[in-house]
Amino acid sequence: MEVVHSYLGGTRTQGSGEARRLYNPASEDVLAETRVGGYDYSAALSWARERGGPALRELTFAQRGRMLAGIAAALHAERDALIEIAIKNGGNTRGDAKFDIDGASATLAHYAELGDKLGARRILADGEMIALRSGPRWVGQHVRTPRVGVAVLVNAFNFPAWGMLEKAAAALLAGMPVLSKAATSTALLAARIADIVVESKLLPEGAFSFTAGPASPLVEVLGAQDVLAFTGSAETGARLRAAVAPGVRLNIEADSLNGAVLGPDVALGSETYEMFLRDVVREMTQKAGQKCTAIRRIFVPAPLVASVRGDLCERLGEVVVGDPALAEVKMGPLASSDQLVEARRGLAALEREARRVFGAGGRGRLLGVAEGRGYFLAPVLLETENAEKSPSVHTVEVFAPVATLLPYGGSAQEAVRLLGLGEGSLVASVYSDDDDFAAELLFGGGAHHGRLFLGNSKIAEQALGPGAVLPSLLHGGPGRAGGGQELGGLRGLELYMQCTALQGPRPLVEKLVGGHG
């Protein structure tokens, strides 16, 4: 049986203790196993700090960027093999697997380009130089330099490639060594990517470590210069907040009940309306709804609810569910038995306040799947008559192909209020050709969302939709979504760097910030 290894302290290690099995979620066949104990994380972090940190900090941004570009090329060379692993261990369709793997490569390439633009410098200027007196000699400048610890990246099961490398790309370009911790259930893909990174020998020794082991012992040995970037449930995020030592910089991306709002101006059958339907169905079913950016709440003007319901049900009925290895299949299973149990529990909670209008809440009709096998949940569309009197819809995230249709009166103020019941999201999307309606949602509701996607007829044919996390824009959100932020171009480096207010003579400050320090 294949064994998922870790790479710690410069050594490939299997660990010890209890064996955890990894499955094909469509067939429940055992694919591999990993060990969940016996890792000396304290020694691994020390090795990364002492070997990887100084070596990375010695390099310029351009040199670090070239390393990221090389890793992206190495991944692309293995793309077909990585896609097959994602299908087998992640339950991804081929399209979903490409979305994950190509997203990882694109993010690496983006940060490689930023490194090239920053050039032969090792200090990052933050804002403009400030004259501190009336004369020109004494100035101030905010600058960023790499933290001298390790960036510990705890990744979620749903994007073992993209989630892992979007964090690593920013940290490595910033000059911090990384220790990437994969989610166990889909660790086969993450482990293969780790092998590619290590085997490429593009990074300095100590700059990259990987573990498929548990996170708790790792969190306990973090120091004040370390960074912990976590993606996962709000419950786990709360435990991490309580567990980390003072000074550890913590970034959390957690639950998100993302909303989509159909504007009252949108006519049935229009380009904007078709865009809305297309995005809702895609976000419900891509990755079997296992996306932090998936649409969970669908707000529709009350007079249009019946039409929208009918159109969404028709399109959801066209989604073929089954063995993701088959070309005809458009949606595969959930990633694990635990995820299926959790999804069913969440669906039961929602059904106490909302009625099912599509789907029976079970496996559905499956293509190419043996009877009773696999962790399948067919798409479910719910509907509630009163959005304000359905609290579970705004508090329970079902990480599966499940969304709820909610009526509203049509005003922007009401849409803002209802979106806000989710207490913070990664992304909200607004579909309207009325610029004033979009503006009211931004000014009234911007504080509740990390990103606002504005969909209208002008971009209907080219926009990627609210579920696409672009490396040039921030990813994260307030409140329930964790309060953190990642990516955003150069903003993504801020998590891994210390901002220092530099005061001194203008020539010296200019020399240091210009990259000669």
Tokens in use for 365? Answer: 């009709």
Section 113-118 average pLDDT: 96
pLDDT at 4 over 50: yes
Section 442-464 average pLDDT: 92
Q: Is residue 477 part of a domain?
A: no
The answer on 268 and 240 residing in a single domain is: no
pLDDT at 517 over 60: no
Tokens in use for 345? Answer: 């529990």
Predicted confidence at residue 101, as pLDDT, reads: 96
Section 345-372 average pLDDT: 95
**CATH number, residue 487:** 3.40.605.10
Q: Which carries the bigger pLDDT value, residue 462 or residue 348?
A: 348
Alpha carbon 56 to its chain centroid, in Å, reads 25
Helix ranges, 152-186 (H): 162-174
Query: Of 31, 43, 85, 30, nearest to 211 (Cα)?
Result: 43
The answer on 329 and 425 residing in a single domain is: yes
- How large a percentage of the chain has pLDDT more than 90? 85
The answer on 502 and 455 residing in a single domain is: no
**Count of domains observed in the chain:** 2
pLDDT digits (tens, 9 = 90+) for 75-106: 999 999 999 999 999 999 999 999 999 999 99
Which element (helix H / strand E) includes 367?
A: strand 366-367
Predicted confidence at residue 237, as pLDDT, reads: 87
Report which listed range, 8-12, 242-246, 292-296, is most confident.
Answer: 292-296
Q: How high does pLDDT run on average in the chain?
A: 94
The span from the CA of 3 to the CA of 21, in Å, is 9
Query: How far apart, in Å, are the Cα atoms of 32 and each of 29, 105, 161, 192?
Result: 9, 25, 18, 12
The span from the CA of 334 to the CA of 90, in Å, is 8
Q: Given the residues 33, 166, 253, 397, select the one marked as catalytic.
A: 253
Tokens in use for 51? Answer: 């070997």
Q: Is residue 478 part of a domain?
A: no
Section 453-477 average pLDDT: 92
Tokens in use for 254? Answer: 């957690």
The answer on 343 and 441 residing in a single domain is: yes
Query: Strand 249-253 vs strand 227-231: parallel, antiparallel, or unpaired?
Result: parallel
pLDDT at 14 over 80: yes
DSSP 212: -
pLDDT digits (tens, 9 = 90+) for 38-64: 888 999 999 999 999 999 999 999 999
**CATH number, residue 417:** 3.40.309.10
Predicted confidence at residue 515, as pLDDT, reads: 52
The span from the CA of 34 to the CA of 428, in Å, is 38
- How large a percentage of the chain has pLDDT more than 70? 99
Q: Is 414 annotated in the active site?
A: no
DSSP 450: S
The span from the CA of 306 to the CA of 465, in Å, is 24
The answer on 490 and 379 residing in a single domain is: no
The span from the CA of 270 to the CA of 47, in Å, is 59
Residues in the chain: 517
The span from the CA of 36 to the CA of 67, in Å, is 31
**Structural domain boundaries enclosing 360:** 258-471
The answer on 199 and 80 residing in a single domain is: yes
Tokens in use for 467? Answer: 């579920």
The answer on 235 and 149 residing in a single domain is: yes
Q: Are 301 and 387 in contact (CB under 8 A)?
A: no
Q: Are 151 and 229 in contact (CB under 8 A)?
A: yes
Query: How far apart, in Å, are the Cα atoms of 397 and each of 236, 257, 331, 357, 491?
Result: 14, 6, 19, 18, 28
Q: Are 432 and 380 in contact (CB under 8 A)?
A: no
The answer on 87 and 139 residing in a single domain is: yes
Q: Is 292 annotated in the active site?
A: yes
Section 375-388 average pLDDT: 96
Q: How many CB atoms lie within 10 A of CB 157?
A: 24
Q: Is residue 182 part of a domain?
A: yes
Q: Is residue 131 part of a domain?
A: yes
Q: Are 294 and 283 in contact (CB under 8 A)?
A: yes
Query: Of 264, 259, 245, nearest to 302 (Cα)?
Result: 264
The span from the CA of 440 to the CA of 241, in Å, is 34
The structure tokens 């806000």 sit at: 420
Q: Is residue 222 part of a domain?
A: yes
Helices and strands in the chain: count of H runs, count of E runs: 15, 24
Predicted confidence at residue 505, as pLDDT, reads: 93
The answer on 455 and 368 residing in a single domain is: yes
Tokens in use for 337? Answer: 């038995």
Q: Is residue 360 part of a domain?
A: yes
Q: Is residue 139 part of a domain?
A: yes
The answer on 300 and 425 residing in a single domain is: yes
Q: Is residue 444 part of a domain?
A: yes
Q: Given the residues 292, 383, 397, 486, select the one marked as catalytic.
A: 292
The answer on 318 and 175 residing in a single domain is: no
Predicted confidence at residue 516, as pLDDT, reads: 43
The answer on 206 and 274 residing in a single domain is: no
Model confidence pTM above 0.85: yes
DSSP 252: E
